A and B are shown apart, each in its own frame.
Chain A
Amino acid sequence: TKSASQPPAGTASFSNPGMNEVGNFGGNSFMPANGLTAAQNQVLNLIKACPRPEGLNFHDLKNQLHHMTVASIKQAVDFLSNEGHIYSTVDDDHFKSTDAE
């Protein structure tokens, strides 16, 4: 006996028109439409997620991104601030995001 009325549980019909085509850049798992690399995105997301008014400390960034070197974090931070996604606050080691959502 099988009930035909119940839809299979595995079908996630979560379609997001227009958003799905962007992500397929080689092996880089997720690269949203904003044109940032995965590393730059991670840095940006961490800065975004920081609730403190003075923003996220570079030290915290470093502690949360073990897999990245200080140089590559700096590079990402440089890039992001050049693009205007983040800006430094109380000193050059604190960053906040401009991307209000």
Chain B
Amino acid sequence: LVRIQKNKAAALLRLAARNV
């Protein structure tokens, strides 16, 4: 579960970084 949340957080960060 922690792993999933970590992956999600990382993915959201990547997405956010791209959208800047």
A residues near B, CB below 8 A?
81-90, 96, 98-99
Main SS class of interface, B: helix
A98 touches B4 (CB 8 A): no
Interface size class for chain B? 10 to 19
User: Would A84 and B4 be within 8 Å (CB), given that A98-B11, A98-B12 are in contact?
Assistant: no
Total A-B Cβ pairs within 8 A: 32
Cβ of B16: which chain A residues have Cβ within 8 Å of it?
84
B8 touches A83 (CB 8 A): no
Cβ of B11: which chain A residues have Cβ within 8 Å of it?
81, 84-87, 98
Cβ of A87: which chain B residues have Cβ within 8 Å of it?
4, 7-8, 10-11
